[in-house]
Structure 1
Amino acid sequence: MAHGNKFHSQFVAWMKIVLPLIALGMLSTLFLLSETIDPTKTIPFTKIDLKQRAQDAGATNPSFSGLMNAGHEMAVQAVTAIPDKEDSQKINATTVTAQIKMTSGELIDIVSDEGDLHQANDTATLIGNVNITTADGYHVVTDWLNARTDVLYADTPGTVTSTGPLGDLEAGRMVLTSDPDTGDAHLHFTDGVTVVYQPQTSKE
């Protein structure tokens, strides 16, 4: 029994020496098989044109609000807004959402794919899928809308389609203004107006 205990003690002592040596050998093999790293190489960053990013500096989810001369409130939001490269007073925005609150309490909602806002001229141009919704039930769709930001005025250089209480409408041009006495919004359709009247059904 004493001989067995002595053998066990010697075995444990040798394993304490051999096992660490085996581990060091395995680690050395891993380092030898791994790819040699050149410390002089540049770290592989994602390719980004830093100069272009600096020129395209803008804002994400910007918003601003203000008062028009007649007291109407206007709030505008966008997904992105980038300063124009040729005109520092101009801002190019995408997915524009605007709301105008008239002094009468009436609301006008406007949505477009893109928009250009010129601060010095107090003008805005909305382009692509321009949708205008008024509180009295009119929904106007056009491709282009020119508007002012200091007074309530907007017009379309092209055709518009509209649905509303009177039915479906198509016109060559539309002008949005406000009544100076009541503060209500007025939509004027001109240049060949076609209306498909839909009479209201009476409820018994």
Structure 2
Amino acid sequence: MPWRDNFHSRLVAWLKILLPLAALALLATLFLFSRNIDPMTTIPFAEIDLEARARDEGVTAPEFAGASAEGDLIAFKAATAQPEPGNTSRVLANDLSARIDLGSGGVVTFRAQTGTVDETANRAELSGDVVIETGQGYTLHSERLFSDMKRLYAESPGKVVGNGPPGQITAGRMVLERPENQAGAQLLFTDGVKLIYDPSKPGE
């Protein structure tokens, strides 16, 4: 039928015009919407304080070691450590511990919650529930302990409590050092020493 052919021809002609126009309209709509979108909001950036990150920068499981002239090996290690702000020669450490292998054959260990290692002064300061243990059977507790990293010397400037071969010990100050012209180390308790003697301790 002629009218059907004519309708079909006109429909095809209109579609050739309308379809490209519709495509252009869709593209224009997409461009219009894209101008209203902030591209920075489409990416989930983490808010990082770079200055704080640099300040908190540290190392994991660092070790500091030295040796005395008499052959004592002194080694410190920590769970984490970071430089002290404004002083790169000092290191702030967490879970700080030390082991001293005496040239005479004995062993002394320290451990504390926190500490400071000064590499220039060859000195370490332990703080926060300091525990001192020796191979002779002493276990002592204090809040602070200073230790040299190049010679056998450690000092607790405050109260020390604990147990040893003689019994229970309380003192206002403790010093671990090597006496002059002697091979071994000694613990010296001063400033109000109190000893509760325990006769059941071996060796007494």
Q: TM-score per shorter chain, which class? A: 0.7 to 0.9
Q: Percent identity?
A: 36
Counterpart residue number, 1:91: 91
Counterpart residue number, 1:6: none
Q: Distance in 2 between matches of 1:201 and 1:50?
A: 57
Counterpart residue number, 2:61: 61
Q: Distance in 2 between matches of 1:182 and 1:89?
A: 33
Q: Is the 8 A contact 1:99 1:107 kept in 2?
A: yes
Counterpart residue number, 2:117: 117
Q: Distance in 1 between matches of 2:154 and 2:169?
A: 18
Q: Is the 8 A contact 2:62 2:77 kept in 1?
A: yes
Q: Distance in 2 between matches of 1:183 and 1:57?
A: 42
Larger Rg: 2
Segments ≥4 residues shifted beyond 3 Å: 36-39, 179-182
> Any idea what the Cα deviations from partners look like across 1:10-54, whole Å, max 9, x if unmatched?
xxxxxxxxxxxxxxxxxxxxxxxxxx9946124223332122111
> Any idea what the Cα deviations from partners look like across 1:104-162, whole Å, max 9, x if unmatched?
11000110001101111111110001000000100110000111111111111110002
Query: Runs of 5+ in structure 1 lacking a partner?
Result: 1-35
Residue 56 of structure 1, CA deviation: 2.2
Q: Distance in 1 between matches of 2:52 and 2:114?
A: 21
Q: Distance in 2 between matches of 1:58 and 1:185?
A: 35
Q: Distance in 2 between matches of 1:190 and 1:164?
A: 15
1:139 to 2:145 alignment: no
Counterpart residue number, 1:41: 40
1:190 to 2:204 alignment: no
> Any idea what the Cα deviations from partners look like across 1:62-113, whole Å, max 9, x if unmatched?
1232212322101111011100112111000000111000001100011000
Equivalent residue of 1:53, what SS?
A: helix
Counterpart residue number, 1:18: none
Q: Distance in 1 between matches of 2:39 and 2:172?
A: 67
Q: Distance in 1 between matches of 2:122 and 2:169?
A: 30
Return the TM-score normalized by structure 1. 0.76
Equivalent residue of 1:47, what SS?
A: coil
Q: Give aligned pairs, total.
A: 167
Counterpart residue number, 2:23: none
**Quick one: which amino acid aligns to residue 70 of structure 1?**
E
Equivalent residue of 2:186, what SS?
A: strand
Q: Distance in 1 between matches of 2:38 and 2:163?
A: 68
Query: Runs of 5+ in structure 2 lacking a partner?
Result: 1-33
Q: CA RMSD in A?
A: 1.9
Q: Distance in 2 between matches of 1:48 and 1:185?
A: 51
